[in-house]
Amino acid sequence: MTRQTATPELRQWIIEQARAGHGPEAVLASMREAGWQEDVAIAALEETLSTYLAEQGREAELPAGSAVPEPSLEGAPASLEVLGHRVAVLTQMHLPRVVVFGGFLSDEECDALVALADPRLARSETVDNDTGGSEVNEARTSEGMFFGRGESELISRIEARIGALLNWPVENGEGVQVLHYRPGAEYKPHYDYFDPAQPGTPTILKRGGQRVGTLVMYLNTPLRGGSTTFPDVGLEVAPVKGNAVFFSYDRAHPVTRTLHGGAPVLEGEKWVATKWLRQGRFD
Ligand SMILES: O=C(O)CCC(=O)C(=O)O
Ligand SMILES: [Fe+2]
């Protein structure tokens, strides 16, 4: 008698039987009646069901996915006209969801943001996950400040452009943050969403819900270093003045593969403006 091997069709049939509520005994009996050798049938049953249940379990443990900002890239346009400003679509990736834009800000807009932010800089603080307040963080050796949403014509114009490009309400955005990295400064890999396991997170989420998207705008071009890196997928986005990298995360979970950081600046300085987008109104 020749040895049988389980086929993909057999595995599919086993999963269908399990879904229909038939117990393993009944499924095994049917397989034997259909002419499958008992040991092959048992091995196929065990292997198929354990894989299937593990996958189901992983799905079940995941938080539900949320709507996310997303540019209109149907038809693969080379560039988009956004409120009278032409933005190039340079690179995109689907998991993590990343899109790199060229010419999102003009040189004048970049220079104006740096000039306005410079006198207002302080050592960067990140949200304290325990209290929901803010704290100085060793992982982020840059200096930073926040502009109030809509605080000037320039800020409003940029915020309106972000909203139109990413199809997301301006009211759901946090204020634009400017970060300044000197040589050697970096922002170690992190997720931008708030960690659901941290005690301070429920307090943070009362105002606007989770972060679901980030746009990092490059305000200058460092001489060397300072890429925005996505270590899970080996992606490095070069910081080029006026360009911007967008990424979204539909749940506060590493399956989004949105771990990212600012690589150390090796020569020169790096200035970025970051816009974080929330699920709901951030008032
Ligand atoms: O500086 C960068 O390239 C990344 C900045 C960043 O991750 C952030 O502002 O959340
Ligand atoms: Fe970040």
Mapping DSSP onto H, E and C, the string for 165-224 reads HHCCCHHHECCCEEEEECCCCCEEEECCCCCCCCCCHHHHHCCCCCEEEEEEEECCCCCE
> Per-residue pLDDT for 63 more than 90?
no
What pLDDT, on a 0 to 100 scale, did the predictor assign at position 266?
97
Q: What is the DSSP letter of 129?
A: T
Instruction: For residues 28 and 90, state if they share a domain.
Output: no
Residue 116 lies in a domain: yes
| Model confidence at 238: pLDDT above 90 | yes
Task: Tell whether 18 and 105 lie within a shared domain.
Answer: no
In a domain? residue 247: yes
Which residue CA neighbors atom 1 of ligand 1 most closely?
262
CA 244 to centroid of ligand 1, rounded, Å: 11
Ligand 2: distance of its center to the CA of 35 in Å?
57
Of all atoms in ligand 1, which is nearest to the CA of residue 228? 3
Domain of residue 36, residue span:
8-59
Residue among 146, 187, 191 whose CB has most ligand 1 atoms within 8 A, to mutate: 187
pLDDT of residue 98: 98
Same domain, 143 and 194: yes
For the beta carbon of residue 173, count every other beta carbon within 10 angstroms.
Answer: 24
What's the pLDDT score for residue 95?
A: 96
- Same-domain check for residues 116 and 215: yes
Could you tell me if 153 and 226 lie in one domain? yes
Distance 76 CA to ligand 1 centre (A): 27
| Range in 27-31, 73-77, 213-217 with the lowest mean pLDDT | 27-31
Q: Collapsing DSSP states into helix, strand and coil, what is residue 85? A: strand
Cα(33)–Cα(21) distance, rounded to whole angstroms? 19
Domain count, the chain: 2
d(CA 238, CA 185) in angstroms, rounded, equals 16
Give yes or no: residues 85 and 223 share one domain.
Answer: yes
Q: Which of 217, 207, 210 is nearest to 157 (CA)?
A: 217
Nearest ligand 1 atom, CA 192: 10
Is 245 in the same domain as 141? yes
Q: Among 125, 127, 180, 214, which residue has the most ligand 1 atoms within 8 Å of its CB, making it the best to mutate?
A: 214
Q: Is the pLDDT of residue 177 over 90?
A: yes
Q: What is the mean pLDDT of residues 135-145?
A: 71
Which pLDDT score, from 0 to 100, does residue 127 have? 60
In a domain, 145, yes or no: yes
User: Quick check: 136 pLDDT over 60?
Assistant: no
Does residue 280 surpass a pLDDT of 70? yes
Does 169 score more than 70 pLDDT?
Answer: yes
229 shares a domain with 140: yes
**pLDDT score at 11:** 84
Which residue from 19, 22, 29, 28 is spatially nearest to 52, judged by alpha carbons?
A: 19
Which atom of ligand 1 sits closest to the CA of residue 260?
A: 7
Same domain, 251 and 146: yes
Indicate which residue's Cα is closest to atom 5 of ligand 1: 262
In a domain, 130, yes or no: yes
* Residue of higher predicted confidence among 46 and 258: 258
Say what the alpha-carbon torsion angle 106, 222, 177, 130 is, to the nearest 10 degrees. Answer: 160
pLDDT value at residue 129:
63
Q: How many angstroms is it from 192 CA to the middle of ligand 1? A: 9
- Mean pLDDT over 71-77 rounds to 97
Is 70 contained in some domain?
Answer: no
pLDDT in tens, 82-132: 999 999 999 999 999 999 999 999 999 999 999 999 999 876 556 666 666
Is the pLDDT reported for residue 21 higher than 90?
no
Q: Is the pLDDT of residue 1 over 60?
A: no
Residue 135 scores a pLDDT above 60: no
Cα 85 to ligand 2 centre (Å): 26
- Protein residue with least CA distance to atom 10, ligand 1: 192
Confidence band for 134, pLDDT divided at 50, 70 and 90: low
Q: What is the pLDDT of residues 31-43, one digit of tens each?
A: 899 998 989 889 9
CB 8 within 8 A of CB 33: no
- Residue with the larger pLDDT of the pair 137 and 152: 152
- What's the 204 CA to ligand 1 centre distance in angstroms? 20
Distance from C-alpha of 89 to C-alpha of 130, rounded to nearest angstrom: 39
CATH of the domain at 241: 2.60.120.620
Atom of ligand 1 nearest to the CA of 214: 10
pLDDT score at 59: 65
Same domain assignment for residues 50 and 101: no
Q: Are residues 32 and 142 in the same domain?
A: no
CB under 6 Å to ligand 1: residues? 179, 187, 192, 214, 216, 228, 260, 262, 272, 274
Is 70 exceeded by the pLDDT of residue 7?
A: yes
Average pLDDT rounded to a whole number, residues 9-25: 85
Residue 72, domain member (yes or no): no
* Within-domain flag for 71: no
Is residue 3 situated within a structural domain?
no
Are residues 50 and 88 both part of a single domain?
A: no
Q: Does residue 58 surpass a pLDDT of 70? A: no
Query: Rounded to 10 degrees, what is the CA torsion of 191, 196, 202, 208?
Result: 40
> Cα(33) to centroid of ligand 2, in Å?
58
How high is the mean pLDDT of the chain? 91
